[in-house]
Structure 1
Amino acid sequence: MNATKAAAQSADTTVYGVIVAISFCHLLNDMMQSLLPAIYPNLKTELGLSFSQIGLVTLVYQMTASILQPLVGLYADKHPTPNALPGGTLFSLAGLLLLSAAHSYGLLLVGAALLGMGSSVFHPESSRVARMAAGGRHGLAQSMFQVGGNAGSALGPLAAAIVVMHWGQSSLAFFAMLALLSCAILWNVGQWYRHQGLARLSLSVAGKRAAPPLPRKKALGGIAILLALIFSKYVYLASLTSYFTFYLIHRFGVSVQVAQLHLFVFLGAVAVGTIAGGPLGDRFGRKHVIWFSILGALPFTLLLPHASLFWTGPLTVMIGLILASAFPAIVVFAQELVPGKIGMISGLFFGFSFGMGGIGAAVLGEVADRSGIDMVYAVCAFLPAIGLLAVFLPNPTERKI
């Protein structure tokens, strides 16, 4: 009762300590996850993999995460499980330890699947925690949470270029130890979740339900449009995260280390775009941010296949900045369309983004094998045009800070 009363008095207060903690764990989680695509050039050489086989590794990882995430989120909505946060990191620990010693394609696939399972537990539950701690600044909280993941994804290739390139595949075992640090932090977050966060979330959901809801058909239509936008965003991002290093090496003849640094710069731009997208949505309306962040990348994606090495860097930076600003606004917009289903919606959108990234990587791997790596970026250049669908999004009442 005391915890509930305290939560009622502070429900509108943003708990930055919890958001920073969950964002830092997101950094550690996604840094560990991003080591897999970062070492693709090594694995391709050592195991003699084709682009199709590399795409299948990404598919296994992404699909394992995407299929489980909505189920984890739905279960958490009905049966909150604070200990799932630290427990989920153990899958990532096991996955990286296996990948550090995987010298066959089968073990590589199993390691990728374990990494996916780690993400499937972490993302929906940690997104719920960000919502609990937001205190009304939901876009800001989602941006802070997600930028941790994007920063981790950017650090992964840099860590691979510095550590894995010098000490080899076995050095992944060192990064697996980061899962233990994450586990310790998430244990403390889980205690806050149990004693304060659940009460805050209940008050927030009760307030949303008191407002007139959108008609079910319009809400589901909005969710479908948002998922289409996630498709365009994450298939395009898969073309860069999985194959950009190969593209740079093939077209411009740069070294693996230089290609990894270009990927690091792109992922850094994604992190900056993510931190900007949520607060801009809080201030100017999420629909406007979604519209611009998807469709606004189109001129730059159309130019990229024809750019020199000098202009390739600035173009990918602009693409990363603009595309990345969409996701925090999309997640919060979807949560407002379906109040009371925070875990399910978070799991659905994180899971769908992982799934689309995996399917996109697999299909684009086939395109690269059949028609060359240049064709991947010629085809993907038109994907942001799907952003035109944003004009059909409904207009739920924006809740001001």
Structure 2
Amino acid sequence: MPATRSITLLSAGHACVDVYQGAVAALVPFFIAERAYTYAAASGLVLAASLLSSVAQPLFGTLTDRRALPWLLPASTIVSGLGIAMSGVTGSYALTLVVVALSGIGIAAYHPESARAARVASHGSHTAMGWFSLGGNVGFAVAPLVVAAVIATGGLRLSPLLMVPALAGSALCLPAMRALGRPVRQPRSTGRARADDTGSFIKLSLAVACRSVAFIGLSTFIAVYAQQRASGGPIAGMAALCVLYLGGAVGTVLGGRLARRWDRVQIVRRAYLATTVAVAGIVTVPGPALYLFVALASVGLYIPFSLQVTLAQDYLPSRVGTASGITLGLAVSVGGLLAPVIGRVADATSLQLALSPLIVMPALSWLLFRTLPEPAVLLARGGRDHKSNP
């Protein structure tokens, strides 16, 4: 089916782009080892990738609400890869921040447009959106493997080789755009559309932001933390990061399947409650058991991921690009803004103490979701996978 083919291509392209979101955290141990960066300096790279992305992504979302910009898909993919590819060969810390920020802008430009295209191709199905989101999770998951394969063999000087996924992703965008025809055109309402629920959307965005703080905090430092708590070397750290990202892929698929039987808000509430316990385990339990808690926390953090995107789009049916830009961008990357704070606390005390506040973040998301309703069906769906709250 054309829709299935389009979602598959968009998901594969999403994987190629999100390699560069995962690559920033995967590069942190190498910057610390090769350039002797402090925790605060290394986490500043995460901030650089997040700061401009946080600001730019909602702007790109608003722009794509007004007009179709399909050229953004291949162009932003190239920009995303270029920044990370240059990060290992820059001559100064300041220039490294600049090129990492450039990658963040590329990622910001990609997500609103691609999410709109996925929504159009899937007729608003949150199950299909789950498969689209899965592509991003796979990109995150393979990022440590790609970075380790390139950088561990020859050092940061080989970082230009990290451009390869971007070239592949930009090529995948072209048949996806042809398959969709006009992929980013929002379908006309059939008269069943409901007014925007701005209040619920704001609460949702705050919950996603709290999730972002927990996830970005873990992804930035889990590789170094696992080396300390599991008494292992760099391989132990990369293994923990892979578990974190692979658990996200499992959680995304599981979230889509659960949403076919129960309403999304209820599923997300329970996932965040379980995640609170799992993050507490990461912080407090030493030894190999750490990897179990990393996996549980990752699944719990990602069960809500695609469901939150479709919830946001349903809360703002007249501004799908904006909703996608904020939930995939501003509210997600805002966690990177606090990464340097965690790094400074870790430099002054210990990494374990610095990560302890992350336990509170999914608990706050759970509290916010306790006040959110399950939206009614806003547009005609292509399948029976959207369930209203009874």
Normalized against structure 1, the TM-score is what?
Answer: 0.89
Question: Structure 1's 326 and 41: CA in aligned 2 closer, same or farther, altered over 3 A?
Answer: same
Equivalent residue number for residue 261 of structure 1? 239
- How do 1:318-329 and structure 2 match up within 5 A? 318-329=296-307
Question: Structure 1's 354 and 382: CA in aligned 2 closer, same or farther, altered over 3 A?
Answer: closer
Give the counterpart letter for 1:202 in structure 2: P
Aligned residue among 154, 162, 174 for 2:141: 154
Aligned residue among 193, 202, 205 for 2:187: 202
Once the two structures are TM-superposed, the CA of residue 273 in structure 1 deviates from its matched residue by: 0.2
Partners of 1:80 and 1:315 in 2: how far apart? 42
Equivalent residue number for residue 42 of structure 1? 30
Question: Structure 1's 305 and 100: CA in aligned 2 closer, same or farther, altered over 3 A?
Answer: closer
Normalized against structure 2, the TM-score is what?
Answer: 0.92
Partners of 1:341 and 1:311 in 2: how far apart? 44
Question: Structure 1's 93 and 305: CA in aligned 2 closer, same or farther, altered over 3 A?
Answer: closer
1:368/1:375 contact within 8 Å kept:
yes
Once the two structures are TM-superposed, the CA of residue 182 in structure 1 deviates from its matched residue by: 1.3
Once the two structures are TM-superposed, the CA of residue 254 in structure 1 deviates from its matched residue by: 1.0
Aligned residue among 318, 337, 360 for 2:338: 360
- 1:392 equivalenced with 2:371 (yes/no): yes
Q: Deviations over 1:270-318 (max 9, x none)?
A: 1110122133224311111221121221222223222131211111111
Partners of 2:19 and 2:371 in 1: how far apart? 36
Partners of 1:260 and 1:97 in 2: how far apart? 19
Give the counterpart letter for 1:299 in structure 2: V
2:86/2:159 contact within 8 Å kept:
no
Give the counterpart letter for 1:183 in structure 2: S
Residue range with higher mean Cα deviation, 182-191 or 22-31: 182-191
Give the counterpart letter for 1:334 in structure 2: A
Q: Deviations over 1:45-86 (max 9, x none)?
A: 322211111222111101121211111111111111111111
Once the two structures are TM-superposed, the CA of residue 100 in structure 1 deviates from its matched residue by: 3.3
Give the counterpart letter for 1:221 in structure 2: G
Q: Deviations over 1:91-148 (max 9, x none)?
A: 1232133213123101210111111011011111111111011134x21122111111
Give the counterpart letter for 2:88 in structure 1: S
- How do 1:175-186 and structure 2 match up within 5 A? 175-186=162-173
Equivalent residue number for residue 99 of structure 1? 87
Aligned residue among 111, 120, 136 for 1:132: 120
Once the two structures are TM-superposed, the CA of residue 17 in structure 1 deviates from its matched residue by: 0.7
Equivalent residue number for residue 226 of structure 1? 204
RMSD between aligned residues: 1.9
Aligned residue among 158, 164, 169 for 2:156: 169
Equivalent residue number for residue 3 of structure 1? none
Equivalent residue number for residue 257 of structure 2? 279
Q: Deviations over 1:232-285 (max 9, x none)?
A: 211111121100111122233310112101210121011110122133224311
Residue range with higher mean Cα deviation, 180-189 or 117-126: 180-189
- 1:308 equivalenced with 2:311 (yes/no): no
Give the counterpart letter for 1:308 in structure 2: P
Once the two structures are TM-superposed, the CA of residue 353 in structure 1 deviates from its matched residue by: 3.3
Once the two structures are TM-superposed, the CA of residue 196 in structure 1 deviates from its matched residue by: 4.5
User: Per the alignment, in what secondary structure is the counterpart of residue 284 of structure 1?
Assistant: coil
Question: Structure 1's 225 and 160: CA in aligned 2 closer, same or farther, altered over 3 A?
Answer: same
Residue range with higher mean Cα deviation, 34-43 or 70-79: 34-43
Partners of 1:69 and 1:212 in 2: how far apart? 25
Partners of 1:379 and 1:338 in 2: how far apart? 32
Give the counterpart letter for 1:45 in structure 2: A
Give the counterpart letter for 1:197 in structure 2: P
User: Per the alignment, in what secondary structure is the counterpart of residue 311 of structure 2?
Assistant: helix
Residue range with higher mean Cα deviation, 270-279 or 70-79: 270-279
Give the counterpart letter for 2:376 in structure 1: T
Give the counterpart letter for 1:254 in structure 2: G
Question: Structure 1's 135 and 47: CA in aligned 2 closer, same or farther, altered over 3 A?
Answer: same
Gaps of 5+ in 2: 386-390
User: Per the alignment, in what secondary structure is the counterpart of residue 177 of structure 1?
Assistant: helix
What is the percent sequence identity of the aligned residues?
Answer: 26
Equivalent residue number for residue 53 of structure 2? 65
Partners of 1:14 and 1:325 in 2: how far apart? 27
Partners of 1:328 and 1:116 in 2: how far apart? 21
2:130/2:306 contact within 8 Å kept:
yes
Aligned residue among 97, 102, 125 for 1:114: 102
Once the two structures are TM-superposed, the CA of residue 149 in structure 1 deviates from its matched residue by: 0.9
User: Per the alignment, in what secondary structure is the counterpart of residue 334 of structure 2?
Assistant: helix
User: Per the alignment, in what secondary structure is the counterpart of residue 90 of structure 2?
Assistant: coil
Gaps of 5+ in 1: 1-12
Partners of 1:176 and 1:212 in 2: how far apart? 42
1:231/1:353 contact within 8 Å kept:
yes
Equivalent residue number for residue 192 of structure 2? 211
Question: Structure 1's 160 and 212: CA in aligned 2 closer, same or farther, altered over 3 A?
Answer: closer
